[in-house]
Amino acid sequence: MTTMLALAYPWIKAAHIIFVIFWMAGLFMLPRFFVYHQEAPEGSEEARRWIEREDKLATIIMNPSMLIVWVLGFTLVYLLDLWLQPWLIAKLAIVIGLSGYQGWLMGYRKKLARGERPLSSKKLRMINEIPGVAAAIIVILVVVKPFS
């Protein structure tokens, strides 16, 4: 690692962790917003406000955070030359899954905005556990590195 990159490394790592926290917060919050949205009467002022909240959370926090997490994550992998580490490959698989989960959330957000409510509040509450389980596994992979 060059001297300049070595100096930047802790800042890149810190920024990566910060944006992971922002992204995960959104992944936890949006399904909970969906539960409240679904409980609001269709076409009501309350439902409209939930649509606005969901849009802001997605466009201001979640989408930019996910993009920044990916860019900084690949920067760290490059700087440390971790491409073939088994723990990293497992972590990447989970992060790809979380990215797909976010894509699904974005699609569900659009369905709710159109007045569709395909899932029950109970199912949305269960789906809300996905990012927590994924985060726990990712932390174990990064800290313990069980496959190394």
Residue 16 annotated as binding? yes
Q: Indicate the length of the chain as a whole number.
A: 148
DSSP code per residue over the chain: --HHHHHHHHHHHHHHHHHHHHHHHHHHHHHHHHHHHHHSPTTSHHHHHHHHHHHHIIIIIIHHHHHHHHHHHHHHHHHHT-TT-HHHHHHHHHHHHHHHHHHHHHHHHHHHHTT---S-HHHHHHHTTHHHHHHHHHHHHHHH-TT-
CB 26 within 8 A of CB 57: yes
Known binding-site residues for heme equal: 16, 91
Known binding-site residues equal: 16, 91
